[in-house]
């Protein structure tokens, strides 16, 4: 199974970028992982937030292969714990899912079309985080999930 992370924008903080690089290195021991970012679009007097969401949504959807399982990260999504997250990943592996794509929106969220395409909508917390922080949290939770599946010591 291959993992893909598709999201909006880049990093402003080097410490978050360094954390992502570390978890990507660790994750690659367990499965292939591909990361694709699309440019953040700015709200202006010429483009409303709704227009930006629609544009970013199209850019994200264009990066998703049709046969992929899609997990959108959204604050209104389902809350699950790390063990249940790892079980889902294990089930996808056992059912020969070729690719799981995780979608991370930008600062104004995800277009409804992206949420409609998702097979699962997850929330990491009822608190609000920047999309940069969620990226790092996703990489850490994916790493944690694989260590749980393998019975390794990382998860206590």
155 lies in some domain: no
User: What's the domain range around 93?
Assistant: 2-149
134 lies in some domain: yes
State the average pLDDT over residues 70-86.
96
142 lies in some domain: yes
154 lies in some domain: no
Evaluate if residue 155 carries a pLDDT over 90: no
123 lies in some domain: yes
* Confidence (pLDDT) at 137: 95
128 lies in some domain: yes
Going by their DSSP bridges, the two strands 99-104 and 120-122 should be labelled as unpaired
* Confidence (pLDDT) at 43: 73
pLDDT per residue as tens digits for the range 86-129: 999 999 999 999 999 999 998 889 999 999 999 999 999 988 88
From the list 151, 145, 148, the residue with the least C-alpha distance to 23 is 145
60 lies in some domain: yes
Evaluate if residue 44 carries a pLDDT over 80: no
What are the angstrom distances between the C-alpha of 11 and each of 18, 35, 40, 90? Answer: 10, 13, 11, 30
* Confidence (pLDDT) at 36: 92
Listed in sequence order, the residues at least 6 apart from 6 whose beta carbon sits closer than 8 Å to its beta carbon are: 36, 37, 38, 60, 63, 64, 101, 102, 103, 104
Q: How many structural domains comprise the chain?
A: 1
96 lies in some domain: yes
pLDDT per residue as tens digits for the range 59-69: 999 999 999 99
- Residue 42 sits in a domain whose CATH number is 3.40.1280.10
């Amino acid at each position: 199974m291959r993992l893909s992370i598709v999201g909006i924008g880049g990093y402003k903080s080097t410490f978050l970028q360094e954390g992502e690089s570390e978890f990507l290195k660790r994750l690659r021991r367990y499965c292939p992982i591909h990361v694709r970012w699309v440019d953040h679009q700015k709200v202006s007097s010429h483009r409303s937030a709704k227009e930006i969401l629609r544009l970013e949504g199209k850019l994200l959807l264009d990066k998703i292969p049709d046969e992929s399982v899609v997990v959108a990260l959204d604050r209104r999504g389902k809350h699950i714990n790390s063990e249940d997250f790892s079980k889902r990943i294990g089930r996808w592996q056992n059912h020969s899912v070729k690719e799981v794509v995780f979608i991370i929106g930008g600062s104004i969220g995800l277009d409804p079309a992206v949420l409609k395409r998702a097979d699962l909508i997850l929330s990491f917390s009822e608190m609000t985080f920047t999309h940069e922080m969620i990226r790092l949290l996703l990489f850490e939770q994916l790493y944690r999930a694989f260590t749980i599946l393998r019975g390794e010591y990382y998860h206590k």
